[in-house]
Amino acid sequence: MAVSEVSRKVSNESGVLYVVATPIGNLSDMSRRALDTLASVDLIAAEDTRHTARLLSAMGLAKPLIALHEHNETGMSGRILARLQGGESIALVSDAGTPLISDPGFPLVREARRRGCKVVPIPGPSAIICALSAAGLATDRFFFEGFPPRTTSARRRRFQQLAANTATLVLYESSHRLTESLEDMADAFGADRRAVLARELTKLHETFLDAPLGELVERVRQDPDQQRGEMVILVEGAPKRDDAAECGIDTDKLLGLLLRDLSVKRAAEVVAEATGRRRNDIYKRALELKAGQE
């Protein structure tokens, strides 16, 4: 579709909330569709209007802006929804990347959909996907944790809860807590667990550090440059347990006990989570045991 056709299509629609992804660093990553959308809407709701104003200026655009951030989200969403229902088209942007991913906007989008407003995603850059694509860790399953807790005790407790997760873990972290978080990860996940620190993605000083957690902690601690900028931390998932015997669980016995009070489906879910085995395999075995009990 030609640029003019895209612009015409956007401008002919009203009362639409566009969720627009913007660059996470490199301005060349702004999509043509995102530019056309921002140029055509009546209003842009931005996490930081000053930041977005600079982005629009770099793109040769000038648009009315309204602030929507974590401190005013509840009250401001009502005003934005009223304008949507009045027929205006509005773009929602964050400071960088795809909105709502550890950024404000969820209550607005949920309420817009509840009220019957059309919500249109304009896809583009995302630090999570960018980091995963180049980290060299498994991507068939990943678990996005967002920012870990700020306090040491809560952070360590959360990492212990995540230690057995077999999916690749993806986290954000601020520069001033990076070293402490990596140390807590090494304690919870093991110093030998492979991890990647993706820093300043798409920017001039983009860096990927790939090492076991214990080694990664030391490399970051000894290099102050690695403690600056925007961070994504990726941690290899825990080893999968192919045999329940490795974790000391008698699968049949546990299933038999659970099937006294739970459905086959729920019993299989519990045992699969406890043993790390495939849910489908456990479910088939549960059906066999259930048939034997009848």
> Is 16 in the same domain as 119?
yes
Q: Which residue type occupies 226?
A: Q
DSSP H or E segment with residue 289: helix 279-293
Last residue of a domain, one of 235, 264, 282: 235
> Is 71 in the same domain as 141?
no
> Is 17 in the same domain as 101?
yes
Q: State pTM to two decimals.
A: 0.76
> Is 104 in the same domain as 7?
yes
Sheet containing 16-20: which strands, arranged edge to edge?
A: 65-67, 43-46, 90-93, 16-20, 118-122
N- to C-terminal Cα distance for the chain? Answer: 62
> Is 149 in the same domain as 256?
no
Question: Could you state, in chain order, the average pLDDT of each consecutive group of 10 residues for the chain (294 residues)?
Answer: 45 76 97 98 97 97 96 92 95 97 94 95 97 97 96 95 94 96 96 97 96 97 94 93 58 87 89 81 86 70
> Is 71 in the same domain as 161?
no
- Exposure b/e, 188-197, CB count within 10 A at least 16 = b: bbeeebbbbb
Identify each DSSP E strand in 130-270 by its residue range: 142-146, 168-173, 194-199, 207-212, 231-235
Backbone angles phi, psi at 291, to 5 degrees: -65, -35
> Is 219 in the same domain as 279?
no
The enclosing domain of 101 has a CATH number of 3.40.1010.10
Structurally, the chain folds into a number of domains equal to 3
Domain range enclosing 270: 244-293
> Is 197 in the same domain as 248?
no
> Is 216 in the same domain as 269?
no
Per-residue pLDDT, 12: 45
> Is 58 in the same domain as 93?
yes
Q: Which of 92, 91, 88, 37 is nearest to 59 (CA)?
A: 37
